[in-house]
Amino acid sequence: KCEWYTCFKQDEYFAGCHLDAPPSGWDGTKLGGHPNYNVGKAPDGIVTQGTKLFCFSVIMWTAGATMNSMDPEGVVANNWKKLGLHIMQCDDYAFFDGMPTGSMHNIDSFTNAWKMVKDDGRWQFNDWTVKADVDAVFFADRLRWHIESYKLPVGSPVYVQNTDFKFHFLGAIEVLSNAAVQRYFERGWECDAK
């Protein structure tokens, strides 16, 4: 029942989720919460979007740690695999090989990751597609609980905005309905061309 957790900022680099107040010595700023929904709920009698998740992470398996106090991505991903956590708690999942970031905001890696999702094809058999960075705090059951509460009509193209960062689409976790992924694959070239 991870929906009972509240996430708090520890310091400039770390955060954690707890059942109670933040631990002593933490910054304590509350992170996340229940956002406002801008998508209308389905009227009674209308079939709603399911909660079946295809989740993926893009891993640079041989890259070193980005900070002295952190493990490399490959080590973290292998721990998730060993423990059956993170994206492995989704209905279907994939670990894709990453590439060195060649642009300021990882745009090349971003478009390459979504090309791998398209080529893989498993997104088509799930209600939602989720990109979760390997170092993101991610609970599949908590996400299912949130998206079920949306009560969206089947076929709604929805991107769940979970960051207020200026690009809105480059967060540690990206959540798209099946119809939104389909739309991106049909028209994503318009974004890539800009």
Q: What domains are defined for the chain?
A: 1-33 (no CATH), 35-192 (3.90.550)
End-to-end CA distance of the chain: 42
Strand, helix or coil for residue 54: strand
- Over residues 116-141, the mean pLDDT reads 94
Nearest to 176 by CA among 92, 85, 55: 55
E strand map for the chain: 6-9, 15-18, 30-31, 53-59, 92-97, 128-132, 159-160, 173-177
Strand, helix or coil for residue 23: coil
Cα torsion 71, 1, 5, 146: sign: positive
4 pLDDT higher than 70 = no
* Amino acid in the structure at residue 95: F
Q: What is the pTM of this model?
A: 0.74
2 pLDDT higher than 50 = no
State the chain's mean pLDDT as an integer: 82
52 pLDDT higher than 90 = yes
% the chain with pLDDT above 70: 81
Tell me the pLDDT tens digit for each residue of 82-121: 999 999 999 999 999 887 665 555 667 777 888 999 999 9
pLDDT at 101: 60
- Cα 159 to the chain's mean position, in Å? 11
pLDDT at 92: 98
Mutual orientation of helices 178-192 and 107-120 as an angle, nearest 10°?
140
